[in-house]
Amino acid sequence: MITHSNPSIKKQVYDRISYLGTVSKADLLNHFSLTSSSMTRLLEEMTSQGLVIVSGLGNSTGGRKPILFQTNPTYRYLFGLEISRIYSTLGLYDMHINTLSLTRWKMDEQMTPELFVDHVVNSAREFLTKHGISPGDVLGMGIGAVGPLDQRKGIILEPEFFPAPSWSNVPICEMLAERLEFPAKLDNGANTALIGEHWALRTENIQHALYVHSGVNIRSAAMSDGQILRGAVDTEGAIGQMIIQANGPRLREKGNYGALEAFVSVPALEERVRTQLKIGRGSLLSGILPDQVNFATLVDALAQDDPLVKEQFMETAAYLGIGLANLINALHPEYVILGGPLVSASPLVFDTALEIAKKNTYHYPEYSPVFTQGLLLEEAVATGAAVMMLQEWEGN
């Protein structure tokens, strides 16, 4: 129970209403140690400020029907931004995290940090103009980015594999806030994706969850007691360095030998297929030069049921399942959410990874976490970044 002595009681009540969607005063009194009159005054204050609105009447339990409250979706607005190596996404959201506008673009060799910021600023201004919203009505922009990061300073440190140069020590929050005239807050994309999925699945009341993103490398986030687990440093990509085969290969001659990312990543998959083509394996891709094979061509070939490509995707998925089992055996989540280009390429990847993970999970089937691709899919990082901004807003 939360007592009235807490100075942030209004924000806590707001967060509770936001989380539950629609509540009565009695619902709130069951959660907060406030007197009925104090809760009435607080709800009246929040209603007069426009923070919450009356949404109707509930069912009677013998007396008068209770008044129902919900947060005001148009009190303020939020942006969520994903910064990734293949695609980036910008969304504008109301206070109920309804998507008002969304844009997604490819990260190519020209998309330097400066051009990226130009693109984000121009897109954000277009969204605001379209919906008649002023910058002063925006709480801020949450950013979920590829790590490593200095989250506190809002800096993207030295990420690998960006197509464009100069993505090193980028003060992204400062660059955006200066031009947009509202604050920006940074976290790694795996964390914001898990925050977003946890929000979308909030009716399930999930306390312990694992999120794994499989793309250019492997990224992960974990939640315990409803809170993101954070270590001493930003270790979003550390899962990729999990050793699953002693004396195994390294990805691009970096990292640990036999690391998970050397088996489960877009570059590793591309390289394995190129090698098979070079030694003469038959494939729908045999007509092109092996070095021209990329992830897009592999996804197309997989959709056409090419045996070689299918085999290599299944091998990738099997190793992903091994990595998942190791994490599940250590963290014991209730939910395991899988995202990223490798998983979304085909149901085959998701199904194969699950099969292998379950076979290697200790005490399965007595202990059996729920596996899902989530509800937000490709929008998880950007949506979760907006949720993060809402949750950390002080309620003024």
Q: What is the pLDDT of residue 160?
A: 80
Q: What is the pLDDT of residue 62?
A: 64
Q: What is the pLDDT of residue 285?
A: 93
d(CA 109, CA 223): 35
Burial of 62 (0-12, 13-18, 19+ CB in 10 A): exposed
Q: What is the pLDDT of residue 185?
A: 97
* Domain 77-196+380-392 classification at class level: alpha beta
Does pTM surpass 0.75?
yes
Report mean pLDDT in 10-residue bins for the chain, 396 residues.
54 89 89 88 92 83 80 96 94 96 95 96 98 96 93 91 91 97 95 95 91 92 91 75 92 90 95 95 92 94 96 97 95 94 95 96 89 93 96 80
H or E segment at 88?
strand 87-94
Q: What is the pLDDT of residue 1?
A: 36
Equal CATH topology for 9-71 and 206-375: no
Q: What is the pLDDT of residue 4?
A: 39
- Altogether, the residues listed in the chain come to a count of 396
Which ranges in the chain belong to alpha helices (H)? 9-20, 25-29, 36-49, 113-131, 172-180, 189-200, 266-278, 295-303, 307-331, 341-344, 347-359, 380-392
Burial 128-160 (b: 16+ CB within 10 A, else e): beeeebeeeebbbbbbbbbbbbebeebbbeebb
* Domain 206-375 classification at class level: alpha beta
Q: Where are the domains of the chain?
A: 9-71, 77-196+380-392, 206-375
Q: What is the pLDDT of residue 234?
A: 66
d(CA 356, CA 341): 19
> CATH number of the domain at 9-71, please?
1.10.10.10
